[in-house]
Structure formats: structure tokens, C-alpha cells
Amino acid sequence: MDRIIEDKRWIKPKHYKYIAGAILAVAIILFITLYDQTSTFRAEKEKITIEQVKQGEFNDYITITGQVVPIATIFLDAIEGGRVEEILIEEGAMLSKDDVILRLHNNDLIQQIMNSESNLAYSSNELRNTRIQMEQQKIQNKRELLQIDYQLIRLKRNYRQNKALYQDELIAREEYLRSQEEFEKARSNRELVYQKLVQDSIFRENQKELMDENLKNMQLNLQMVRQRLGNLHVQSPVKGQLGLLNVEIGELISKGQRIGQVNILESFKINADIDEHYIDRIRLGLHGYFDRQQDTFGLLLKKQYPEVRDGRFEVDLVFRDSVPRNIRIGQTYHIKLELGLPQQAVLIPRGGFFQSTGGQWVYVLHPTGEYALKRNIRIGRQNPQYYEVLSGLEPGEQVITSNYDVFGENERIVFK
């Protein structure tokens, strides 16, 4: 008879589907648990720059490039216009005060001087004639007064004689009264003539003063015109070097036209451009220095120009102590301009990463050195060598400082 054969297997076929489902569930759980969702970029460690964060002294300075310029420049403007007749001194020559640089010729100005001289001669002649007439009138008035005085004396004597005779009843009363009236009339007339002479004298003095003033003004005007003629000789106002002379023989120069400049070489200064990023930190009195021929020369920021052009503004620095030997206008120096005092800080070397992140984050290496992770940081001041780290990094850590453009937005850099 048939016997039922008992299945002794631990796992029966009907159980396979349950086991497969369990294995799949465990695999999914392990994948979710162990899979790192962090975006990753693989890079060759030899092709990137890695620097160590350190604690040190932060020197707050910037490096600027400046050129040597004269301590002062005097511009030469044509005081009088004219045609260039002769150039006596060429550019670059040393000048003494009042050296004639060039000569101009102006026919109109010469004609004006001749007219002024002619007018002065005519006015002077008229003044002399007027003075002669006034003196003659003065003599005539004195002669008239003298004649009246003589007549008054005669009438007075006749009046006194007639008065004595009338008192002795030797002449008629009518004759006495007539002599009295003639005497009194002559005396009154003498007073009027005298007042007229006084007024004439005052008038003549006023006229003389006015004519003298007019003549003086004409002489002054002639002197000024002649001085204008002297301005046709363009002279150096100071001792220095003729740095520029922008004229040619035969060229017509207008009045007030700039024709050159004189550089005062008693001292020098350095003119430099600074990025407008630092405009709030630049102030008068800042110290700077540069090295040349194994010597260090100190500078002082003396002037800051207000205009910003193409994202930069100008400053002038003067030497604090000594000046380099054989210094020349136009020489270029790389200057370290101190913006503040040195301070202890966490430092990270400068690199291309700043252009990619703006200093807001960096890739920090894991202690194993196998990969680097993105970390937010905060950067403060900077100088040509270091950035000052305010937060996010500790001394001894290593960061990638080369450019991050190739890394994209990945948060982890794995080294091959």
C-alpha cells in the first residue's frame, strides 16, 4: 500500500516568496541608512592648492603702485597772445627764476603801445599849456588886485582930505559925500575882487590836481601796456625743470593758453591709485613704506583726491625722512600702505577661492586627508598675503585655497 512521504526540508518552496521579500526590505533599509546623499566631486589632490590655517599676527596693509612726481608743478600760461618767434629753452632743461623760455610777437600790442605813447605826449603838452594859462591868469588877477589897492589908497586919501576940509567948511557937502561914496564903493569892489581871486585860486588848484591825476593815470596805463609788451617774453616763475613745452615756431598762441609747465625738483612725492573698496579706510596721515636698494623709505599720506574714476581714486604720499638716491620723475614703486596696527588673528592664506565664494565658505579637509567638506566661514580684513578669519575655522585645519569654479555646487571633494 502507498505511504505518505513526509517533506523534511526546513524551507519549503512556498516560503521562497516571503524570504525574497524580507531580503529586499532589509536591502532597502540598509541602502537608505548607509547611502551618503552628499553631492561629491572627485579631484586630483596634486592639482589643487591646500593651505593650513594658523594663528598669527595680522598686518593690516594694502599694496599699491605709485609713480614719482614733482612736489609741485607750476603751469605756464600765455599772459599775452602772439606768434611764437623764438624758443630759447627746450624741454627737460633746468631753469632759474626769470629765465626767458620763448619770445612771442604781437603787432596789435605794439601798435597799442605806440598809440598810448602818442596820447600821453599830447595830453602832457595840453597840460603844460593849461598850466601856463592858469599861471598867466593868476598873475593877471594879482595885477588887477594891485590896481584896485592902489586906487583904494588914492580914494581913501582924497576922502580924508575932503572930510577935514568939510569940517572947516572949506568945501561943499556934496563934494565931501561924493568922495566918501567913491571910497566905500572902491572898498566893497576890492572885497568882491578878492573873493573872486580866492575862488579862482581854489578852482585852479582843483584843476591842477585833476589834471595831474589824469596824467598819472595815463602814465600808469602806458607803464602797464609796456609791461604787457614784456609779457611777450615767457619767463620761468620759479627755479625748476622745464617739464613740458607744447609750442612750435610760428604757432599762434592765444591769451591764457597753456603752453607748458615747470617742475619744482626741490622735493618729490608719489602719486598712487587705490581701489574704491578701501575708500572708507583711507585717511590723511596713514604711513607707508617701500624697499629699494636694500633700504626702506617711509611715506606719509598727504592728500586724498575726491574723484573716483573707473573704480579707483588717487592719493599723494610724501617722504617722511630720506629720499632714494638718483630718484627720477616717473619711477614706479610698490608701496605697502598701513591701514591699522598689527593684531593677533586666525589667518588663512589668500587664494582663488575668494573670487568663487566671496569668502563665505571654504572646503575644509577631513583629518584623514581623503576628502574635504564645504563649511561656512566669516572673513574680516585682508592684506596681500592673508585673510583674517572671524569664525568657522580653527588653527591647524587645512583648506583648499585654489579656485573653486571646477567644483561646481558639490559639498564634498574626494581626492583620487
Mean pLDDT computed over 212-225 = 79
Mean pLDDT of 150-178: 86
Residue 333 pLDDT grade (very low, low, confident, very high; cuts 50, 70, 90): very high
Surface-to-core class of residue 362, CB atoms within 10 Å of its CB (0-12 exposed, 13-18 middle, 19+ buried) = buried
**Per-residue model confidence (pLDDT) at position 4:** 55
354 with 409, same domain: the answer is yes
- pLDDT category at 15 given cuts 50, 70, 90 is low
Domain span at residue 179?
108-230
Q: Average the pLDDT over 242-248 and give the result.
A: 86
What mean pLDDT do residues 211-219 have?
A: 80
Q: Please give the order of strands across the beta sheet that includes 398-400.
A: 40-43, 412-415, 371-376, 361-365, 398-400, 50-52
Q: Which of 289, 320, 340 is the last residue of a domain?
A: 340
Q: Inform me whether the pLDDT recorded for 98 exceeds 80.
A: yes
Task: State mean pLDDT over 280-288.
Answer: 91
Question: Is 3 a member of any domain?
Answer: no
Domain boundary among 295, 324, 340: 340
Integer-rounded Cα radius of gyration of the chain: 54
Do residues 320 and 257 both lie within one domain?
Answer: yes
Give yes or no for residue 186 having a pLDDT over 80.
yes
If asked whether residues 296 and 214 sit together in one domain, one would say no
Q: Do 203 and 127 share a structural domain?
A: yes
CATH of the domain at 378: 2.40.420.20
**What is the predicted pLDDT for the residue at 408?**
84
Q: What percent of the chain has pLDDT over 70?
A: 92
pLDDT (tens digit, 9 = 90+) per residue, 106-121?
888 888 878 877 887 7
Same domain, 215 and 299: no
The answer as to whether 32 is a domain residue is no
DSSP 323-350: --TT--TT-EEEEEEE-S--EEEEEEE-
Given a cut of 80, whether residue 21 has pLDDT beyond it is no
| Segment 258-283, tens digit of pLDDT | 888 888 888 889 999 999 988 988 99
What's the pLDDT band for 28 if we cut at 50, 70, 90?
low
Clarify whether residues 117 and 225 are in a common domain.
yes
Does residue 82 lie in a domain region? yes
Each residue of 124-150: pLDDT tens digit?
787 788 878 878 888 888 888 888 888
Per-residue pLDDT band at 32 (split at 50, 70, 90): very low
> How far is C-alpha 234 from the chain's CA centre?
25
In which band, very low, low, confident or very high, does the pLDDT at 11 lie, cut at 50, 70 and 90?
A: low
- From 168, 198, 230, give the residue that closes a domain: 230
User: Are both 326 and 365 inside the same structural domain?
Assistant: no
- Compare 324 and 223 and report the one with higher pLDDT: 324
Per-residue pLDDT, averaged over 189-207, amounts to 83
Please give the mean pLDDT across all residues of the chain: 84
* Between residues 16 and 93, the one the model is more confident about: 93
Residues 152 and 72 in one domain: no
| Residues 74, 50 share a domain | no
- Residues 226 and 112 both lie in one domain: yes
Residues 317 and 354 reside in one and the same domain: no
Q: Is the pLDDT of residue 17 over 80?
A: no
> Is the pLDDT assigned to residue 35 strictly greater than 50?
no
Q: In this structure, what DSSP letter does residue 215 have? A: H
Residue among 182, 156, 184, 158 nearest 171 (CA) = 158
- Do 114 and 188 lie in a common domain? yes
- Within a domain: 138: yes
Residue 245 lies in a domain: yes
What's the total number of domains in the chain?
3
pLDDT tens figures, 360-407: 999 999 988 889 999 999 998 888 889 999 999 999 999 999 998 888
